[in-house]
């Protein structure tokens, strides 16, 4: 069965179906169906229960309710392909994108994002056979947000 909602996560624990993963709703996908529309309405309405918190916190709080009460199936994207600042993927051969999670402030995000681009350019400058060996990685010593 396909997932109703697919999202990246701030912390991914190895199982794409594990509701224990912490979602990052800045990168979320769902195809519109009546059940998914109900899920989005439920999420929006749940914000009243957590008035001091942002939508991602609310989603994390209600993800089990969505799965149980509405039967919504969630999948979390493997950290190996959607790398995040708070859980940096190590295999540059598998990473499709880098999401600037766990980073506060535009200046800090731009500082570390520039380093991501520099490292990617360095990685791509190596011959394909060297890249496939998986030994070329990030150089994030001294980053502002990178964990």
In a domain? residue 137:
no
pLDDT digits (tens, 9 = 90+) for 94-131: 887 887 767 888 998 888 888 888 888 988 898 888 88
In a domain? residue 140:
no
Residue 136 in tokens: 């070329």
The confidence band for 38, taking pLDDT boundaries of 50, 70 and 90, is: very high
Residue 67 pLDDT > 90, yes or no?
yes
Q: Are residues 36 and 60 located together in one domain of the fold? A: yes
- Identify the residue with better confidence: 60 or 127: 60
In a domain? residue 43:
yes
Q: Which of 1-10, 50-59, 100-109, 132-141 tops mean pLDDT?
A: 50-59
Q: Are residues 117 and 70 located together in one domain of the fold? A: no
Task: For residue 18, give every residue at least 6 positions away whose Cβ sits within 8 Å of its Cβ, in sequence order, or none.
Answer: 76
Q: Domain range holding 63?
A: 5-76
Read off the pTM. 0.71
Q: Are residues 86 and 36 located together in one domain of the fold? A: no
- The DSSP string of 44-109 is HHHGGGSTTS-HHHHHHHHHHHHHHHS---EEE--TTTEEETTB----TTT--EEE-TT--SHHHH
Residue 2 pLDDT > 90, yes or no?
no
Q: Are residues 51 and 86 located together in one domain of the fold? A: no
d(CA 67, CA 138): 36
Q: Are residues 70 and 127 located together in one domain of the fold? A: no
Q: Are residues 67 and 126 located together in one domain of the fold? A: no
Percentage of the chain modeled with pLDDT above 90: 37
Q: Are residues 126 and 88 located together in one domain of the fold? A: yes
d(CA 120, CA 123): 5
Query: What's the pLDDT score for residue 1?
Result: 62
Query: What's the pLDDT score for residue 75?
Result: 95
């Amino acid at each position: 069965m396909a997932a109703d909602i697919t999202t990246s996560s701030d912390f991914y624990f190895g199982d794409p179906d594990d509701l224990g993963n912490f979602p990052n709703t800045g990168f979320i996908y769902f195809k519109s169906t009546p059940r998914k529309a109900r899920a989005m309405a439920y999420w929006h309405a749940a914000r009243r229960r957590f008035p001091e918190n942002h939508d991602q916190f609310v989603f994390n709080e209600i993800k089990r309710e969505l799965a149980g009460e509405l039967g919504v199936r969630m999948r979390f994207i493997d950290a190996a392909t959607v790398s995040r600042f708070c859980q940096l993927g190590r295999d540059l051969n598998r990473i499709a994108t880098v999401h600037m999670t766990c980073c506060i402030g535009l200046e800090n995000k731009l500082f570390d994002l520039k380093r991501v681009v520099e490292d990617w350019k360095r990685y791509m400058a190596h011959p394909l056979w060297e890249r496939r060996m998986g030994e070329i990685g990030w150089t994030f010593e001294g980053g502002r947000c990178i964990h």
